[in-house]
Amino acid sequence: MRYWWVNHKQTFRQEFDGKYVWCPKRKTNGRINHFYETLREIRGGDLVFSYTHAAVQGFGFARPPCYSCPRPDEFGKVGNAWDDRGWRADVDFLRFKSPIRTADHRDVIGKLLPEKYSPIKADGYGNQGAYFSEIPEPMAMFLLEIGSPEIIPALKGFQSSETDPIDDEGIPVIVDWEDRQQRAIESAPLPETTRKALVQSRRGQGVFRKSVLAFEHQCRVTRVRNPDHLIASHIKPWREATNEERLCAGNGLMLTPSIDHLFDRGFLSFEDSGDLIVSPIADHESMIKMGVDANELSNVGVFNGDQKHFLDYHRSEILLKPLYLD
């Protein structure tokens, strides 16, 4: 288990009550932000502390790892300068009976702060610019002893859930995002054949599947060749792609269902050279059961130019591996 701290600021009500945290992927100048990239490291079962108005308001356990999604509608005009797309992690937040004013405990907390990228200053007040930060276990335990000591015994021996189960229903926010885009396609002034092809490509079917099968004959990871057991998977996800990219054969790979799940959720990706990349937050035991041995370097073969273009997007915007670790 790891321990995290989120400085909600203007979006506290939406995030805490909505049970999630969300941040843009880049600063307004387009640069990488450590305090945004950190969210890519969260695992299911990690503990997150919620801070706003100079006090820790509560805590929550993360559910599945974070995922790419649009800026929440409920933010309204708050954060209009942010990118429309960002990182989201679902967290089951609970309020403390009384908020913990960190300045009142600065003598203790000041000695427990992380050496780098601290969410608050030694005086107990928020660190301007810090959004999502990891904090040391002693600091987390001190906060729980003040705010909710009854849960501490339950944390001993607790095992984090590092990867979410494959769910046919999908993550509700992502399903809703894709449903909206499908409705837009269905109502758009497009030729019927194009409209049908775009809708079918959402599930890796139709023209898109045929185009990808023309040059991808097996799962890149498991080597399964029977097309009945393969999914035409978008490298740049359908939900994030333009209509042209949704039908581009170079934006596709043939993968078995379990590998498609891992790839779509950012638990694995590929270098242009074909070397397999495994996310540092992936549950290695589960990965092995799904056909991926993270302890063995694996090369899945060469990619064409279009695939390399889309893989660059996948590594940057989908893979659950912070860019500052590279």
Q: What integer is the mean pLDDT of 101-129?
A: 92
**Is the per-residue pLDDT at 168 higher than 80?**
no
Look-up of token digits 């379990």: 258
- pLDDT tier for residue 170 given thresholds of 50, 70 and 90: confident
- pLDDT tier for residue 284 given thresholds of 50, 70 and 90: confident
pLDDT on residue 169: 63
The yes or no reply on domain 3-155 and CATH 3.30.70.3040 is no
**Is the per-residue pLDDT at 160 higher than 60?**
no
**Cβ-count burial 90-126 (b if 16+ within 10 Å, e if not):** bbebbebeebbebeebbeebeebbeeeebbbbeebeb
148 vs 158: which has the higher pLDDT? 148
pLDDT on residue 81: 61
Q: Are 136 and 117 in contact (CB under 8 A)?
A: no
Per-residue pLDDT tens over the stretch 7-42: 998 899 999 999 999 999 998 888 899 999 999 999
Of the ranges 265-269, 286-290, 292-296, which is most confident? 265-269
**Is the per-residue pLDDT at 86 higher than 70?**
yes
pLDDT on residue 155: 77
The alpha-helical segments, DSSP class H, found in 99-156 are 106-112, 137-147, 152-155
pLDDT on residue 163: 43
Domain with CATH 3.10.590.10 in the chain: 3-155
**Rounded CA gap, 68 and 53, in Å?**
28
Tokens of 209: 């599947």
Per-residue pLDDT tens over the stretch 45-56: 999 999 999 999
27 vs 324: which has the higher pLDDT? 27
Q: What integer is the mean pLDDT of 207-214?
A: 97
Q: What integer is the mean pLDDT of 82-89?
A: 87
pLDDT on residue 164: 46
Average pLDDT of the chain is 90
**The pTM is what?**
0.90
Q: What integer is the mean pLDDT of 170-199?
A: 94
- pLDDT tier for residue 166 given thresholds of 50, 70 and 90: very low
**Is the per-residue pLDDT at 313 higher than 80?**
yes
Task: Determine how many CB atoms are found less than 10 A away from the CB of residue 8.
Answer: 17
Q: What integer is the mean pLDDT of 1-12?
A: 93
**Rounded CA gap, 52 and 65, in Å?**
23
Q: Please state which of the ranges 1-5, 69-73, 132-136, 295-299 shows the lowest mean pLDDT.
A: 295-299
**Rounded CA gap, 294 and 227, in Å?**
25
Q: What integer is the mean pLDDT of 240-264?
A: 96
